[in-house]
C-alpha cells in the first residue's frame, strides 16, 4: 500500500485516480511515499526519509526545496502545460488592462454612481481613460514553453506582431509555435522592439531580477510589461523607478507587494494565473498520474531535478537506482547483478546535471541482499525494486 500525503486541497478528479486498494491518501499521513502539493511552502519542512517523490500540481516549484530533494534522491515533479490555457487567458486580459484605461474607468464610474448627471459625466470624462489598441503593436514573449507559445499564437490571432525569445525552446514547443512569430537573438533585441513584454519563464538563480534597471534602459519607451510567472523575475525597485521616470507605461503583475501597489502605474492581480477550476483539475490529474507512474513503474515524466526516463516494462522485476552522475555507475550496478547470477533483460540510464537514474528489468526476483550491496556503492543515493 502506497501512502500519499496532501499538503493542500487537491482536486478530487486527480485523487480519484488512485486505486483505493493500493493507495492511502490524506493530509495527516505519516511516513508517506509521496507528497502532493500546490502552494504550501515546503522549504522549511523536514521531509520524511520515506518520501520518494513530490508532485507540484502547478508549473512553478520554488516552494519546494529542490536541491535538498535531489541530494536525498527525491524526484520532484511539476505539471507544465496543465494550467497553460488559464494563464494564457489572464495574460491576454493583462495586455488589454495595461493598454486601455479599463480599471481606472471602472473605478471612476463606481465612485460616481451617486451623481445624478452620471450619463453626461461619462461622456465628458471618458477621454481620461483612453489607450492604444493591441492590433498592429509588437509583443515580446520571453519564454516559449507551453504558456508562452499559446500567448504568442493568440496574440498573432489578435493582429499583433510577435517576437519570441527562448534559447532553450523545446522541440515540442517549437512544433506548436506559429511560423509567423519572429525570433529574437537576444533579450536586449526583444526589449528594444516590443511595445508589450510578457514573461513566461521559471524562477531560478539565472532568471532572478531578469528585468532590472539595466534592461529598463534598453526597453522601448512606453512599453507595458506583464509578469504572471514569478515576482522575483522583475526587480521591484527598478520597475517602480522606470514607471515613475516614464520609461515604461504600466506593469501588470500577478504577485503584488505593498511597495508595488503604492505605485499608480502598477496593476496588481492577486495571483490568479492558474485560479480556474479547469486548471486545478488538469494539474491534479497530471500530478497524480506522474506520481503513480513513478511509484509503481519507476518512470519519470516532467521532473524538475531528474532526467526523463521511461522503459516499456516487458519483464516482471524492475530495479530502480538514483545516483550521482559519476563514472562507472552503471558498470558497478550491473556487476553486482551479474555476481548474483541475475540476467539483465533491458536497461536504460539517463542523467541530468549532477544526478542519474537507471531502470533495469529482469525476469528474476532481485534479493534484498543484492539491493543492499548496490546501495553501498559510492555515489548511489537510492535503490528500490518493483514487481509488475
Burial class (CB in 10 A: 0-12, 13-18, 19+), 346: middle
C-alpha–C-alpha distance, residues 155 and 91, integer Å: 10
DSSP code, position 340: T
Q: Enumerate helices (H) and strands (E) in the chain, giving the number of each.
A: 14, 16
Cell numbers found for residue 213: 534597471
Residue 262: Cβ within 10 Å count = 9
Q: Which of 133, 214, 244, 259 is catalytic?
A: 259
* Contact by Cβ (8 Å): 285, 302: no
C-alpha–C-alpha distance, residues 279 and 82, integer Å: 6
Q: Which of 230, 317, 318, 373 is catalytic?
A: 230
- Rounded to 10 deg, the angle between the 368-375 and 329-339 helix axes is 150
352 is catalytic: no
* Contact by Cβ (8 Å): 387, 316: yes
Residue with cell 464610474: 109
C-alpha–C-alpha distance, residues 204 and 168, integer Å: 14
Tell me the pairing of strands 182-183 and 248-253: unpaired
Hey, which residues does 36 pair with through a beta bridge? Answer: 6, 55
C-alpha–C-alpha distance, residues 242 and 239, integer Å: 5
Burial class (CB in 10 A: 0-12, 13-18, 19+), 100: middle
Q: What's the first-to-final CA gap in the chain, in angstroms?
A: 14
Q: Which of 24, 100, 271, 296 is catalytic?
A: 271
373 is catalytic: no
Helix (H) or strand (E) holding 172: helix 171-176
DSSP code, position 351: E
Cell numbers found for residue 376: 553501498
* Contact by Cβ (8 Å): 199, 211: yes
384 is catalytic: no
Cite the active site residues: 230, 259, 271
Amino acid at each position: 500500500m502506497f501512502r500519499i500525503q496532501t499538503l493542500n486541497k487537491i482536486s478530487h478528479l486527480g485523487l480519484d485516480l488512485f486505486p483505493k486498494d493500493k493507495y492511502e491518501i490524506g493530509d495527516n499521513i505519516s511516513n508517506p511515499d509521496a507528497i502532493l502539493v500546490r502552494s504550501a511552502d515546503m522549504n522549511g519542512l523536514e521531509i520524511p526519509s520515506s518520501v520518494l517523490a513530490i508532485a507540484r500540481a502547478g508549473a512553478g516549484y520554488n516552494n519546494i526545496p529542490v536541491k535538498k530533494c535531489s541530494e536525498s534522491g527525491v524526484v520532484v515533479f511539476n505539471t507544465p502545460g496543465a494550467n497553460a490555457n488559464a494563464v494564457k487567458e489572464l495574460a491576454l486580459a493583462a495586455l488589454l488592462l495595461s493598454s486601455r484605461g479599463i480599471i481606472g474607468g471602472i473605478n471612476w464610474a463606481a465612485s460616481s454612481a451617486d451623481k445624478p448627471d452620471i450619463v453626461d459625466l461619462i461622456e465628458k470624462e471618458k477621454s481620461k481613460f483612453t489607450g492604444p489598441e493591441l492590433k498592429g503593436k509588437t509583443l515580446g514573449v520571453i519564454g516559449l514553453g507551453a504558456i508562452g507559445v499559446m500567448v504568442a499564437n493568440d496574440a498573432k490571432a489578435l493582429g499583433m506582431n510577435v517576437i519570441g525569445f527562448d534559447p532553450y525552446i523545446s522541440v515540442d514547443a517549437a512544433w506548436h509555435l506559429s511560423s509567423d512569430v519572429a525570433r529574437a537573438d537576444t533579450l536586449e533585441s526583444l526589449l528594444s522592439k516590443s511595445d508589450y513584454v510578457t514573461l513566461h519563464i521559471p524562477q531560478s538563480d539565472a532568471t532572478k531580477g531578469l528585468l532590472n534597471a539595466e534592461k529598463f534602459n534598453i526597453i522601448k519607451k512606453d512599453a507595458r510589461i506583464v509578469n504572471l510567472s514569478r515576482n522575483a523575475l522583475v526587480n521591484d525597485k527598478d520597475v517602480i523607478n522606470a514607471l515613475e521616470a516614464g520609461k515604461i507605461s504600466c506593469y501588470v503583475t500577478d504577485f503584488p507587494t505593498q511597495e508595488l501597489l503604492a505605485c499608480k502605474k502598477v496593476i496588481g492581480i492577486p495571483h490568479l494565473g492558474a485560479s480556474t477550476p479547469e486548471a486545478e483539475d488538469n494539474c491534479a490529474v497530471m500530478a497524480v498520474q506522474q506520481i503513480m507512474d513513478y511509484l509503481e513503474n519507476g518512470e519519470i515524466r516532467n521532473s524538475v531535478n531528474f532526467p526523463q526516463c521511461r522503459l516499456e516494462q516487458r519483464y516482471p522485476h524492475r530495479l530502480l537506482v538514483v545516483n550521482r552522475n559519476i563514472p562507472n555507475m552503471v558498470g558497478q550496478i550491473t556487476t553486482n547483478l551479474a555476481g548474483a547470477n541475475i540476467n539483465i533483460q533491458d536497461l536504460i540510464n539517463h542523467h541530468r546535471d549532477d544526478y542519474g537514474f537507471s531502470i533495469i528489468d529482469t525476469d528474476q526476483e532481485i534479493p534484498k541482499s543484492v539491493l543492499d550491496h548496490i546501495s553501498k556503492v559510492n555515489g548511489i543515493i537510492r535503490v528500490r525494486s518493483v514487481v509488475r
